[in-house]
Structure 1
């Protein structure tokens, strides 16, 4: 809070900070408005004047803390590789949610009257990231569709980890992240790589046609997805190779 903040703004920030501290200290992510008033040193009418009711206060607490997280995330320098930036962004999102379960559940795990400003901001950041991938020629689908797909998966896996009290670095997050990455982001073109001959294209097409729709042997879901992606790419011969793959 800056020195130029008005008394009302300082009071509002004081209440938000008190509620955030109580929320973080609660094993079940719960607190009473009376506890907030006592911690902030304000009366109940003051709290209701600023936030309307407890739900209004919860939304503002989550919005404030999530906005701080997004500001810190955007302050990071890019790696120069949009795919690495995407992977890092996924891991940071999951880590924030698991580290702040009550706040994250308020943001994404309960009905709201429309999306909050921080949630809209987070989605806009994700869309920008997808556009960076599109400019690099690495995106498989329209940017908005890719962003929706990534957001759905990231929020879903984070809420699952929170519900089951699992650490952010659990293998499930990495597995879902890799599956989504394979579905949304294409492999880079390797300069100077040997051409895909018609013979190799035919062999890949035959193997792809034999692939079942479900799991394959002992392969993980992410490995099966990658295998399908590789076979689909190999099924098309390089122009320089000539010939007919059929």
Structure 2
């Protein structure tokens, strides 16, 4: 789970007697403490109580080990986020508050785990990363809740893309800047800019007037359309097609 400072406590892999788990745990501690440069095969082998050839047999090379470690740390973070989303839905937490909390948690995670963020923000790694895919699904769930209350003025997919791209961009900019020169308001400013792109104005939410209100209503119906069991699959598909067209043209 994330700590108050945003760092992620390294969750011990199941079966501490398992050699692979011990190696990943040891490497994860080194990665968090000193970045990828601190992760050496000799150091990890010593910390895990194994011989260096064991690392090569299990992971191929250092890059393979780092891939496994990044997945492990990210999977821990994603699991924590998924629990938060589930709890927010169960407690009927305002979807916009939940989305903001997710944004802040992700920024804190990236700043506290720069090595993991840099590895998992690599497009080639993201394309094949189960943890990155699960992380996007958590964001999709948050955006879907916003759509259900009629506050999205764009499609859910576009909203997810915008929030994700903005988050990666902010973290990349902050991590490229010396800590003492970082703008502490950059993340909040970017978030507000994204909200201006994806949300209907608050005063029009639920009001049957204006393109923003119409678009928000269409997106809200689109969000629940797949669950309208009183319609046939073909009818639901046609409804979704109509709504997508309306959202695109409004």
TM-score scaled by length of structure 1 = 0.70
Measure the CA separation in 1 of the matches of 2:27 and 2:94. 39
| 2:151 is aligned with 1:138 | yes
- Give 1:56's aligned residue: 64
- Give 1:182's aligned residue: 196
| 2:95 is aligned with 1:95 | no
Number of residue pairs matched?
196
Q: CA deviation at 1:31?
A: 2.3
Contact 1:51 1:57 in 2 (8 A): yes
| 2:129 is aligned with 1:121 | no
- Structure with the higher fraction of residues in helix conformation: 2
- Give 2:186's aligned residue: 172
Q: CA deviation at 1:55?
A: 1.1
- Give 2:23's aligned residue: 15
Structure with more contact order per residue of length (Cα contacts < 8 Å, sep ≥ 6): 2
What's the CA shift string for 1:74-112, capped at 9, x where partnerless?
223316211111111000000000011111111114743
Measure the CA separation in 2 of the matches of 1:176 and 1:113. 22
Measure the CA separation in 2 of the matches of 1:171 and 1:60. 33
Q: CA deviation at 1:27?
A: 5.9
Q: 1:165 to 1:71 in 2, by over 3 A?
A: farther
Q: 1:44 to 1:136 in 2, by over 3 A?
A: same
Task: Give the superposed CA RMSD.
Answer: 3.0
Q: 1:100 to 1:6 in 2, by over 3 A?
A: closer
- Give 2:117's aligned residue: 104
**1:1-246 mapped onto 2 (5 Å cutoff):** 5=15, 10-26=18-34, 29-76=37-84, 77-78=87-88, 80-109=93-122, 111-112=124-125, 114-166=127-179, 170-189=184-203
**Unmatched 5+ stretches in structure 1:** 202-231, 235-246
Measure the CA separation in 2 of the matches of 1:101 and 1:80. 30
- Give 1:228's aligned residue: none
Q: Tell me which structure has the larger Cα radius of gyration.
A: 1
Secondary structure of the residue aligned to 1:137 is: coil
Q: 1:120 to 1:233 in 2, by over 3 A?
A: closer
**Unmatched 5+ stretches in structure 2:** 1-11, 214-250
TM-score scaled by length of structure 2 = 0.69
